[in-house]
Amino acid sequence: MRVLQAGSGEVLGLAFGPDGRSLAAAVEGQGVFLWDLADPGFPLQLDTAASDRTRTVSFSPDGRSVEWLSSRGWRAYDREVRRTALRRLDARGEPYRLASGADGGRAFTLHNIPDPALIAWAPDGAGGWSREWEVSTAQLAVDRVTADPSGRRLALLTRKTNGPRWWEQPSRLELRSAVSGAVEAVGTYPYSYSCPLAFAPDGGQLVGAHGMTLLTWPVPALGDPQALRLDSRKHFTAVAYHPAGGHLLATSNDATVHVFETAGWGRVTRYAWQLGRLRSIAVSPDGSLAAAGGDRGEVVVWDLDL
């Protein structure tokens, strides 16, 4: 176990590189940081600011670039040339959420006014990105978009905004095609505010963490979620599947990481790292390492033996 430090803000998001030897973190108010885990001294600071939109910091499938969404747009740090570039998106609305496809062939953004939309992008062969499809979200409030690792689907939490007192409309979980944006299924979401979502590695299950409850839906059926209640009064904050699919890791404001087996949702272990409230979680692609981020800029990395 080792503790890495990056500023003093909340660690909003974490991502391991494809080879598991690099770790990126988005830290609120501090920026985006990159560690070489073979020599985890001072991190390389890739950006000087990070906000809620930066939670989905990620690596390209070949590990060459680190990508995130900032107030200036979609940014990518090229690790070979050691330079950060702004990836231009031909859209009028400002992007506020980014989800990348596992194979790097598509990326998905949510945009707000003046043209609220969900847009899929594909590489144009000239170093840029071209619009593949677009779905208007002018009649929807959308807070989350999550890409299925298999590349088939997207999951969104939405609420209709047409009509008076739209904020009292029920929320719902939408499953959309990653190829066309068409709605494939709708599931019940029993709460009024959104929560983190994660697909299982094979795309056959979706999990959300809301308050002291884990919600699970079968994919593609969705329907009503199965609920698992935490045995404390502290909230879950983030979730990540082990790449083998048999376990789920969940951080909590009780300062621990809970590990559940996904067959019957029994808890198999709990890690207490004394970092205070834990806010983010990631597992390396080979399943050998896990990382959790706290609310004071600290990131703990440990060997994962399940």
pLDDT band at residue 302, thresholds of 50, 70 and 90?
very high
Half-sphere exposure of residue 263, counting CA atoms within 13 Å on the CB side? Answer: 3
- Give the mean pLDDT of 13-41: 94
Number of Cβ within 10 Å of residue 35's Cβ equals 22
The pLDDT of residue 101 is 79
Question: So what's the pLDDT on residue 124?
Answer: 84
Half-sphere exposure of 271 (CA within 13 A, CB side): 22
Over 90: is that where the pLDDT of 306 sits?
A: no
**Tell me, what's the pLDDT at 279?**
95
Q: What is the mean pLDDT of residues 82-105?
A: 88
Tokens of 92: 């009028």
Q: What is the pLDDT of residue 125?
A: 80
Q: Which two tokens stand for residue 64?
A: 């060459």
Quote the percentage of the chain above a pLDDT of 70.
Answer: 100
- 149 vs 40: which has the higher pLDDT: 149
As a whole number of angstroms, the distance between CA 281 and CA 196 comes to 11
Q: How many angstroms separate the Cα of 128 from the Cα of each of 75, 124, 181?
A: 12, 5, 21
Residue 167 carries which DSSP code?
G
Residue in 145, 236, 244 with CA at minimum distance from that of residue 198: 145
pLDDT of residue 204: 95
CA–CA dist 266, 288 (Å, integer): 21
CA neighbours within 13 Å on the CB side: how many for 302? 14
104 pLDDT higher than 80: no
The confidence band for 230, taking pLDDT boundaries of 50, 70 and 90, is: confident
pLDDT, average across residues 113-138: 91
Mean per-residue pLDDT for 279-296?
96
Lowest mean pLDDT among 67-76, 109-118, 180-189: 67-76
Q: Count Cβ neighbours within 10 Å for each residue of 220-229 and write b for 16 or more, e otherwise.
A: eebeebeebe
Q: What percent of the chain has pLDDT over 90?
A: 76
> What's the whole-model pTM score?
0.93
Q: Pull the structure tokens for residue 221.
A: 């059926």
Instruction: With a cut of 90, say whether residue 288 has pLDDT above it.
Output: yes
Q: Name the amino acid, one letter, at 2.
A: R
Q: How would residue 96 be classed by pLDDT, with cut points 50, 70 and 90?
A: very high
